[in-house]
Copies of this chain bind each other. A is one copy, B any other.
Amino acid sequence: MSDRPSTAILDRLSAIVGPSGLVTGEELRSRPAAWTRPAEPCAALALVRPRDTEETSRVMTACAEASVTIVPRGGATGLVDGILCAPDQITLSTERMTTIEPADPLAMTMVAGSGATIEAVQDAARNAGLFFPLDLGARGSATVGGTISTNAGGLRVLRYGMMRDIVLGLEAVLADGTVVSSMRPLIKNNTGLDLKQLFLGTEGTLGIVTRAVLRLRPEPVGYATALVGCPGVDEGARLLRAAQAAFQGRVSSFEGLWPDFYRLMTKPGRATPPLKPDYAFYAIIEMECLPEETDRFVDVLDRLMGEGTVLDAALASSEDQRQAMWRIRDRVENMNADGLVRAFDVSVPLDRMDGYVRGALARLNAIPDCRAVVYGHIGDNNLHWNTTRLDAAGNAAIDAAIYEPLAELKGSVSAEHGIGLEKRGKLPLSRSPAELATMRLVKRALDPDNRLNPGKIF
């Protein structure tokens, strides 16, 4: 790329967003390329920070006319290199589009700019006496636009769904600068293709989200939380079903912990194990309920213990105990400390999970020097693996053990993280040639010159 066109596009972008809206040089290099590459500087030609939808549209038009491609950038906490840039690309950050309009207490909705963080949205909802249910570890950095583009899941999917279920409407800018505004705060709106779905989970390849209408909920009134030991994951699934029935769908989390994961997280100095270390399967189950409903939860556990579905259970009797229980699930740094540094995010239908985990563990254990643990939001079909890092051949064998069985089991190579650059090679295990071809038809229709996040997903 010659100097001249790049100078011309930078001048033009600067004229649109103002000098403070364009970041280049050392200031740009001080930003990481991606969350997974903290020491690698962002390689883009420039970072452009439009203030609103209209400036975003003008930036897109300018880039289209200059034949420059665009990589959208949200909170930069994604896990699949979806924001990685080449030196001839412009990265468009939503960081100045942070406006959060006051929540509407009757309609229980809120309008937020795509650059607002999840934490800021949660706080604004709470200040209005309401509740924004999406939650994830990166809440302080992850943005509305980023979580839309990746259809983020997180900690409360079982009860409240993913970002797709929370976004009522949105505004997006297409590759040619067209503004598609679908900002209606409606639960019901059957007027043809639901356009917001084009931008949910497509990782910025079809448009740049600038604003969204979000659905809020009443604040939870309290929790009942238990750690249980079961003979296997199928018995865990039966506990989940019994609890959903007894509490009419108010189970908010159901996290499966296989024994090697449980033992790793409860090593001396890490956490006091509430249960014996030798059950075949553990689960943390939490439901949203009033304090007086805890007795009913105990009844469910007693009944299932009587029939052998649950072998033992520890109920959190205080918020401190609840937090301690959750730390057994959440302290991922314990895995890093034990050398289990490669993380995987897959999904498997619940009725096939037992066979999948057994088969994959057998293959993993047969790989020399490989260690692996498995856990996850299994109520949402979501499993996470953490494994040791080996040489290239060893890592490929680990990948094969974890990913290859998924195609046959109707699982997914990405439950919640997305595809980005990292999982492109695995996508055909989860998507048929006809599905990929149909996705490409839509991509070509909306972005015929492949200007938006080219090379990501496909």
Q: Could you list which residues of chain A lie within 8 angstroms of chain B, going by C-beta atoms?
A: 104-109, 150-151, 153, 157-158, 161-162, 164-165, 174, 178-195, 197-198, 200-203, 206, 217-221, 234, 237-238, 241, 244-245, 248-250, 288-289, 347, 349-352, 377, 380-382, 410-419, 427, 430-432, 434-435, 437-439, 441-446, 457-458
Contact = CB atoms under 8 A, between A and B. Distances in A.
A438 B172 CA distance: 11
Nearest to A458: B192
Contact of A193 (B105, B174, B202): B202
Given A445-B444, A446-B438, A194 B382 contact: no
A107 B407 CA distance: 18
Given A190-B415, A191-B419, 15 more contacts: A108-B241, A150-B190, A157-B187, A161-B165, A174-B438, A181-B432, A184-B410, A186-B349, A188-B380, A190-B201, A191-B418, A192-B201, A192-B427, A193-B206, A194-B201
A381 B187 contact: yes
Nearest to A245: B218
A248 B419 contact: no
A250 B288 CA distance: 12
A324 to B, nearest CB: 25
Contact of A438 (B180, B349, B432): B180
B153 A188 contact: yes
Top 7 A-B residue pairs of the complex, sorted by shortest distance between their CB atoms: A445-B445, A197-B197, A218-B245, A188-B415, A106-B351, A189-B412, A107-B351
Stoichiometry, as copies per complex, reads 2
Contacts of A419: 190-192
Nearest to A193: B439
A435 B181 contact: yes
B191 A427 contact: yes
A303 B351 CA distance: 45
B107 A350 contact: yes
A176 to B, nearest CB: 11
Contact of A180 (B380, B413, B434): B434
B439 A442 contact: no
A432 to B, nearest CB: 6
Given A248-B218, A444-B445, A185 B410 contact: yes
Nearest to A182: B435
Contacts of A443: 193
Contacts of A442: 193, 198, 442, 445-446
A412 B153 contact: no
B248 A380 contact: no
A179, A193, A218: which has the most chain B beta carbons within 10 Å?
A: A193
Given A193-B201, A219-B245, A248-B221, A186 B347 contact: yes
A382 B188 CA distance: 7
A438 B195 contact: yes
Contacts of A446: 438, 441-442
Contacts of A437: 178
Contacts of A245: 218-219, 221
Given A192-B427, A241-B106, A183 B410 contact: yes
Nearest to A448: B441
A192 B192 CA distance: 21
Contacts of A203: 192
A163 to B, nearest CB: 10
Contact of A181 (B162, B221, B250, B434): B434
16 contacts: A106-B234, A106-B241, A107-B237, A153-B190, A179-B434, A182-B435, A188-B382, A189-B430, A190-B418, A191-B419, A193-B202, A217-B244, A218-B241, A248-B250, A248-B289, A438-B446
